[in-house]
Structure formats: structure tokens, C-alpha cells
Chains A and B, each alone.
Chain A
Amino acid sequence: MWQERSAIEWLRWLAEGRVSAVELVDAAFQAIERTDSRVRAFLHLRPEQARVEARSIDERRRRGEELGLLAGLPIAVKDVLCVRGEPTTCGSRMLAEFRPPYDATVIERLRAAGAVLVGKTNLDEFAMGSSTENSAFFPTRNPWDLSRVPGGSSGGAAACLAAGQVPLSVGTDTGGSIRQPAAFCGVVGLKPTYGRVSRYGLVAYASSLDQVGPMARTAEDVALLLSVLAGHDPRDSTSAPVAAEAYHQGLDAPLGRLRIGVIREHFESGLSPSIAGAVRQALDVLAQMGAELVEVTMPHSPYAIAAYYLVAPCEASSNLARYDGMHYGLRCDESLPAGDGNEGRQDASRLVRVYRASRSQGFGLEVKRRIMLGTFALSAGYQDRYYVKALRVRRLIRADYERAFERVDVLAGPTTPSTAFRFGEKLADPLAMYLEDLFTVGANLAGVPALSLPCGFDENGLPIGLQLQAPWFREKRLLQLAHQFQQRTDWHKRRPAL
């Protein structure tokens, strides 16, 4: 029963009393039980708390209390969002035992909306990666082909949807970490405008790029979840003082003659032919819906990856400095025998040894690579050549978007250059892995909202994603377009055989 219905439909059933929150939560845990030994989407599950929360929702519904927008719906959350008193590992050994004393703003909003958190999903360590292979605990598998990666870093968040374990999932996106796994797993994922969703309680990877976003199997469900996540938060200085909307309402409203820009650079070198074909077909559908297709050029997009892989590691090198073994997290203390004179000097070198041991053992390879990249690029004598120059490129990319959005209402193109790859295929070649973000990093660098939705399958039966991007704070337009596309296509209704 579980996979047939969307979150919106379950909400109706809940309201009509045809199903209870407890039944939905039980169904979620049954699906997880049945499939997660193979998919491994979850790092932690919280069955007892989830049932208690579901029972309380059912109770409140029986009493006729006013309930939130997601009341009784099971939801999964990527394990970079702080949940008070519960594991928040970020996929890292460093935080394997860490339990934050506070809830992220997004978690507070979900609780207030009555969503029932079933567990925390797997990810690349500290959200750094494109395959979930960088999780310190285990890789998540793609439900469409268990020998392939689900994408990353929100790999668990996408896989749990594709596997039919939950109807709603929260991911985060710094360079494509929601959209690329959504494309690989055949689900819908939205990276909102930078500042649209609070980052308070999101464990930072690259602060100027990170954004929390909704994931689901339909655009309508993504819209519903965004209505809960979005809004100004005084605890996040980068949160936009722009009123949130009821994104899930009016999705069928006619869009008129929407001008859709097709990014020329995204169809040039490196794009797999099956993706090019599927995306072209999707563009035809959009044209049939009444949109006008316009070719646009984003002349600086070839430099987006280079700029991203300087800005993000620079910020990461500073954001991850706090994991030093002193206050929380992993501490590897190789203590020395005391009392052999010169306490002061011994103490200082012991401090350095604790730092070195804790960080060497706490962080994985990719995290160390990015910390070292960023530390180098921010160093005296190199900062102008790398960090400052990357910021200049970032401004040019933003200007590309501003120019494009003077001519068109939405930008369209492929989400990824290829479909889901096999485990290990790109691990030894970081550059090949970084190129996964080729089409997605632009939206992060410019701060615009971008959505990926299923638009076909390749010759191996693997999902293909269509990326739609809109001007700042035009999430509603993206969601309307995606929803109306899904009224005419059934790519999103296909399910993997698990």
C-alpha cells in the first residue's frame, strides 16, 4: 500500500480517518525492515520515539485539536541536522558519539508541523562527496541497482524515498547534494534559494553555499515540505527576511507562456547521450505545455567547478577547525608519563599531539583533502591567487544568472552528466567525482533555487534527472512547472524492484 500514495494523499487519508499516524509509522518501519538491509539508507532509527509521537498525533486528532501541516507523516532527516539528545554523526567518526543539546530550526519546524521523524539518513562525511561512499560507517546503495551508488552527499535521503521507506525526506545541498542523488534515485529534490531555509543546527560544510531542502517522490510533496521548512529565522543571520509561501497551494495554476532557457554549455562535452536524449524529450514536453524554449549561454559555467572547489574547501577548512578533540567529539589522547621536567613544553607538544591524533583518526580521506585544499588556498601569499580569485569568478557566475533571468523565467538542463555509477568507480579519481557537480554548483554559487525531477531512464534502467532553476525566491514557479510536468509524465511513478 505504502508506495502508491504521495504524502499529500496520505494527509487526506489521515484527515478522513482512513489511516492513523501509528499505522503510517508502522508501515514505514516495515518497509525499512524489508529493504534497508540492502539499501542501507539509515544511520539511526528511532522506532520507539516515532511511535510515541505518532500516537500523540492520533490522540490530538481524535480530540479535534488543530494539527500542523505534516501531522502524522513519517519523515527522514539527513544526519547533518542536529536533533536534541539523539545521534548527529554527520557520517563521521569524529561525531560518532556526539549528541547535540539542541534542535536545528528545521527540526523544530518539523516537530511543530507534526511530522514524525523515523530516523537519520546516511551521507558522505560532513556532506563532502557525490556517492555516499565517504560515509565513515557504510555506503548506501542505489535502490535501482544495488551495485551502484545513490549519489551524494544526501544519498541516504534520496535512497529512502526510492526504496519506498518514507514519503518525505530532508537533505542538504552545497554543490548539488540534494539534486544529484535525487536524479540518481529517480526522486524529486529542491535546493531552495540561499537564505530561504534556516541553517541554524545544520552542521556547516561551506556556510555560504549550504542550504537545507525538501525531497520526495512528487513535486507536490516537495512543495508541501518546503512550506514547513521555509521561513525567516532570527538565529541565522544569513536567513532571508522574506515571507514564506504556501508552496503546495496553487500548483496547478496556469503558467502562461513561460520562457524556458536551455543552457547551451550543459549540452556540450561530457554529457551522456541517453541523458541528452531524455532531457531533450522533457524539453519537448515543456514546450507542449506552452513554454517557449530559448537557448541561453552561461559563459562562466565552465569555471564553476574550479570556483566551487576553492570556495567550499576554504570555508570547510575553517568550519571544521572546531573538531579538535578538546570540547566534544572524538579525542585521541596519547598521554605521556608525567613528571619528567619542563611541564610547560611537554604540555604544549602534548596538545599538538592530541590535535593531530584526533583529527587524523576522526576525519576520512575526502574531508582531510578538502581541509588541506582550503587551508592552502587561504594561506598568506596564496589567498589572492585562489580564494579571492574564486570569489571573483563566483560574482561573474552570479552575473551570468542575472543576465539569463532577464531573458527567461526558468533555466532547464540535465542535473548530472551521467547516471548512477558503480561503487569504487570514481573513488580513486577525485577530479572525476568533482565533475559530478558540473551542472549543479552554479545554483549554489549564485544562490538561486534549483530542482531535479525524474525525466527518463537510461539503457541500464537507471533514472535520469531534469534540472530546473529559477530566479532568487521563485521556488513556487519551479514547483508549479515540475508539478504540471508530472501531471503529463509518469517517470516519477516508476518504482525499483527491490
Chain B
Amino acid sequence: MSQAVPYTIVIGLEVHVQLLTRTKLFCRCPTTFGAPPNTQTCPVCLGLPGALPVMNRRAFELALRTAVALQCRIPPRTKWDRKNYFYPDLPKGYQISQYDLPLATNGYLEIADPAGRFAPKPIRIRRAHLEEDAGKSLHDEAAGVADSRIDLNRAGTPLLEIVTEPDIRSPLEAKTFLSELKLLLLYLEVSDCNMQEGSLRVDANINIHIPTASGMVATPIVEVKNMNSFRAVERALQYEAERQYVEWQATGLTKENAPKQTRGWDDQAEVTVAQRRKEESSDYRYFPDPDLAEVTIPAHQIERLRDEMGELPGALRKRLEQQYGLDAYASDVLVNQGKAVVAYFEQVARQCGDARRAANWIQQDVLRVLNERHIGIEQYPVAADELAELLRQVGDGQLITSRAREVLERMVQRGEKLEQAIAALGIQSVSSNQLRELCRQLVEANPRIAADVRAGKRQAVGALVGQAKKRNPNVNPAEVQRICLELIEQSE
């Protein structure tokens, strides 16, 4: 890594995760993405006079599940607060959120890099809380008329905000943390984490610490927004660290004598740009929402969630290494593909009896198809037991690897069953007698090659292997070579 830079990067992340509930946080409107504007609204999420919120228990449960998985401290009771500010996409003039008693604090998430670019480390979670999303402002600046429209379909959608401590030391760590968090959320089935649809949104706080003759100097903290992919996060933070160093060299401004700034990532120009501050005061006048009761969280609920949690990515990687003898890289690749791929792998491994072969084939052949076709393992045309049978035959020597790849290719392309594909390719197993007879004929018919071999040009036997494959494509080339050499030596 570029650890040659003369400073330390300090990053904290704020992640907003849209929870996978059918309905909104405080009303029964659906949360489906992409409906025509303002069709998924009711008096509650429109903020009409007299309407009152009622908490969605499912959303609260999903948030708790995440908090448990992040090893957070969960208080016995939590409450709802109003965050007051004016904005057109906020119909009540306040957002229902959680201020001083969030549902989770003091957790952590382990991150590691199989390529070893940084040492494994825990990233501490400062807090996680639930809040309702605002609507969307659609600005139409065509024809010089600033015409803004508001879509309130999203207003009231449950968001879990997860805030880390500033434990992240590089853009790569930031990206790794986000990937690991996303994977965890997918395993927990609490969010679809779709960044394009805004189900996962990331803001970052970053500054750099520079050692100088007079001690360590910290640059002003910058909040970076508008990063629409993990790749964008990595690049934006890389850019921002470098920018802060250059700016510090020019101005000498530090955290102590300059205010926090908000900058947006411009994906096309690949720069961060200072953002205009919203014309709202930063005094949100938080106070407990008198329309909602406090929520008590009984210990048995947390225990139940822990019991129902299932295996999470970190533990799963270790188990795959121990139980199947996979290396760290392979287990990482499989686990990162999600629960369903791991289940597929485990079935193939069990049934074919060779976990490493199963892991290799899935990584090389199966995942390639999934990526090319943008499908999940559920849509992959070859069932786990069929792949297992194919690999078992490879292991038995009934099928050579190259022929097996042809078989799999045919099963994927044409949706054929294993036997169908094998028959269609004319593959028949060759008995050892048949093979020996074939080799004998070839050695007899090619005395010059036999002579060459005897003269020490052992590679000349390759021509015999080629002829054998032409006569019968099902022969195992290594076997042909071994038998031919044996026959030539015997006939000496």
C-alpha cells in the first residue's frame, strides 16, 4: 500500500441502511421502490394535521438483530426523539429519530484483508439508531425555472443509522469495512443493501494526522457525502486525504483553528467539492416525541435474537477453513458470495467428497457464470447434486478435467442434465483393456516414434497421445502416455 505518505489517515463512517420491512416505520404504507411519486402515502407519512405515528415492531426487531450481530450494548429501554428542522421533503417539520438513548452502543465489526494489505482489526461501532427517512426533492432546473417537486413515497421508510468510531486508517479499510458490513446485513436479511436504490448510504468523516517537529497536527475534519458506490468511497477518501495534506501545506489550517466542512464527491471529475451549507440551523432542538411511548427491550428478546441469528460471515469463514481445509482466500471468496453460495458449496463438497475441488470449481466455473449473467446461485442451471456427481467422476478418473468442463459448459448453456450432456458429447468410459489395445496399435503403427523415444526423445510420445485422442476423445491422455511409454520400453 501507499504507506509512504507522511501522515496517518483517520476515518469514521456513518452508514444509513434501509431495513427490509414491507411497511414504513410509523405507518402502514408500503416501502416498495420505484412506485409513481406520492402514491405510497397516508395522513401519517404526509404529516397531515392530527395524524399520529405507531411504531413498526418488525423494523425495531430488524434493528435489534443488527445490533446484536454487531456485538452492541443494548439498553433495557429506548425512546424516540424529534429532530426539528425545516425542509420541503420533511413534511412534519421534524424527523422522528433517536437522540440520547439509541437502541445500540459500543459494538464492533472485525475486518481483515486476505491479501494482507492491513492486519485484521476490529472497527468499533459508536452507536446505531432507528429513524424515519425523509422524502425526495426532485429539482427540475430546465428552462431557467427552478421548479422543485417533492416525492414523499420514501418519507417514513425505516433507516438504521450505524456510526463507527474513527478507527479506520485507510480508504481500503473503509471499503473493506463497508463490504463486511454489507455482507453482515445481507446474512442477517435485514436489508437488501442496494446502493442504487438508496438502501445503503454512506457518509465519511476524514482528516489526517501529520507528525511535525512541534508534535502531531490534525487537519480540519471533512464530512464527505455523495459517494454512490464502495469504489467511490475508496477513491473519494484517497483524494480527500491527499487534498487535505496539500491544503495543510499551503494554509497550515488545523482542526483547532478551522471549522468542520462538508464536501461532496464528484464521481466524474474525481474530486471532492465544498458544499453549500443548508440554510437551516444546526440546533435541532431534540426532545422526546410525546406521540410515542418508550420501547422496553426485555433480555429474553435479545437472547432469542442471538439464538436465531445463525452463522455470521466471520465465524463461517473460520469454519470453512477448519472443516473443509480451505485456504483463507477460498473461504473468503465463498463467504463473500452470500449464504446461498456457501450452502451450495457445502452440498457439493459433501456429496463429491473433495471440498477443495468443489471450492475450485465453484470459484472458477460457477461464479464466472453468476457474474456474467448477473444471477444468483438460485438461478444457476446446475443443481448442487449434479455438480457433485460430475466432480465425483473427475475424482474417480472416469472423466478427465477438460471433458468435465465441456460437460458442465453444456449443462449450463443448454440446461441439460449430467447424463444427457455426457451422452451428447459421446463420452463413454474407456476400459483399461480397450485403452491398452489402442496404445498397442499406435505403437506398432508408428515405429519411428517408438525409435525416437528409445533414442531418448521422450516427448515424441506426445504425437501418439494426439492420435489416441483423435481415435477416441474419451481417453485419458496421461494414461495413454504412461501405457505407450511402457509398451515402447517393453518392446526394446
Contact = CB atoms under 8 A, between A and B. Distances in A.
Q: Do A and B come from one complex?
A: yes
Interface of A: 80-82, 88, 90, 95, 98, 100-102, 104, 199-204, 206-208, 234-238, 314-315, 317-318, 320-322, 324, 326-328, 338-339, 343-352, 355, 375, 378-380, 383, 387
B52 A200 contact: yes
A375 B53 CA distance: 22
Given A321-B93, A322-B93, A314 B287 contact: yes
Interface string B261-294: 0000000000000001001000101010011110
A348 B279 CA distance: 7
A371 to B, nearest CB: 11
Given A88-B49, A201-B50, A327 B146 contact: no
B50 A351 contact: no
29 contacts: A82-B48, A82-B49, A101-B48, A102-B51, A104-B50, A200-B51, A202-B50, A203-B50, A235-B52, A236-B52, A237-B292, A238-B290, A317-B84, A318-B84, A320-B93, A324-B86, A326-B88, A326-B150, A327-B47, A327-B150, A338-B145, A338-B146, A346-B146, A347-B148, A348-B276, A349-B279, A350-B146, A351-B279, A380-B283
B43 A102 contact: yes
Given A324-B86, A352-B279, A380-B283, A98 B49 contact: yes
A90 B49 contact: yes
A318 B287 CA distance: 9
B82 to A, nearest CB: 5
A237 B60 CA distance: 15
Given A343-B144, A378-B285, A237 B49 contact: no
B53 A237 contact: yes
Among B46, B139, B145, B291, max chain A CB count under 10 A is at B291
B94 interface: yes
A321 B48 contact: no
Among A206, A237, A387, max chain B CB count under 10 A is at A237
A322 B144 contact: no
Contacts of B92: 321-322
Interface residues of B, number: 35
A224 to B, nearest CB: 25
Given A318-B93, A347-B146, 8 more contacts: A200-B51, A204-B50, A207-B290, A320-B93, A338-B146, A350-B146, A375-B285, A383-B285
Contact of B285 (A207, A338, A339, A379): A379
B155 to A, nearest CB: 10
Contact of A100 (B50, B145, B291): B50
B141 interface: yes
Contacts of A351: 88, 279
A379 B93 contact: no
Nearest to A340: B144
B381 interface: no
Across the A-B interface, the 10 shortest Cβ-Cβ residue pairs: A321-B93, A208-B290, A207-B290, A378-B285, A339-B144, A203-B49, A201-B50, A347-B146, A82-B50, A203-B50
Interface in B85-124: 86, 88, 91-94
B55 interface: yes
B351 to A, nearest CB: 51
Contacts of B291: 204, 207, 237-238
B373 to A, nearest CB: 43
A321 B49 contact: no
A208 B461 CA distance: 94
B52 to A, nearest CB: 5
Nearest to B89: A326
Contacts of A102: 43, 48, 51
A392 B48 CA distance: 31
B436 to A, nearest CB: 83
Contacts of A95: 49
B142 to A, nearest CB: 11
Interface of B: 43, 46-55, 82, 84, 86, 88, 91-94, 139, 141, 144-146, 148, 150, 276, 279, 283, 285, 287, 290-293
Contacts of A352: 279
Contacts of A379: 283, 285
Nearest to A327: B91
A80 to B, nearest CB: 8
A314 B289 CA distance: 11
Q: Is the interface of A mostly helix, strand, loop or mixed?
A: loop
A8 to B, nearest CB: 30
Contacts of B82: 318
A324 to B, nearest CB: 6
Contacts of B145: 338-339
A347 B55 CA distance: 35
A238 B145 CA distance: 45
A379 B285 CA distance: 5
Contact of B144 (A199, A338, A349): A338
Given A314-B287, A315-B290, A318-B84, A235 B49 contact: no
Contacts of B88: 324, 326, 351
B51 to A, nearest CB: 7
Nearest to B80: A237
Contacts of B50: 80-82, 88, 100, 104, 199-204
B54 A383 contact: no
Contacts of B49: 82, 88, 90, 95, 98, 100, 203-204, 322
A321 B284 CA distance: 12
Among B51, B141, B285, max chain A CB count under 10 A is at B285
Nearest to A90: B49
B287 A326 contact: no
A318 B53 CA distance: 15
Contacts of B47: 322, 327
Contacts of A321: 84, 86, 92-94
A474 to B, nearest CB: 22
A328 B290 contact: no
A326 B48 CA distance: 12
A236 B54 CA distance: 7
Contacts of A207: 290-291
Among A101, A204, A326, A348, max chain B CB count under 10 A is at A326
Contacts of B141: 343
A350 B88 CA distance: 12
A201 B51 CA distance: 6
B91 A238 contact: no
A237 B279 contact: no
A127 to B, nearest CB: 12
Nearest to B292: A237
B235 to A, nearest CB: 25
A128 to B, nearest CB: 14
Nearest to A234: B54
A45 to B, nearest CB: 21
B269 to A, nearest CB: 18
Contacts of B290: 206-208, 238, 315
B55 to A, nearest CB: 7
Contacts of B91: 322, 326-327
A463 B47 CA distance: 41
A95 B50 CA distance: 13
A380 B50 CA distance: 28
A344 B144 CA distance: 11
A160 to B, nearest CB: 22
Contact of B93 (A208, A235, A324): A324
A234 B293 CA distance: 13
A351 B91 CA distance: 14
B402 to A, nearest CB: 62
Among A81, A88, A238, A350, max chain B CB count under 10 A is at A238
Nearest to B54: A237
A327 B50 CA distance: 15
Contacts of A345: 276
Contacts of B52: 199-200, 235-238
A287 B59 CA distance: 56
Nearest to A210: B290
A92 to B, nearest CB: 10
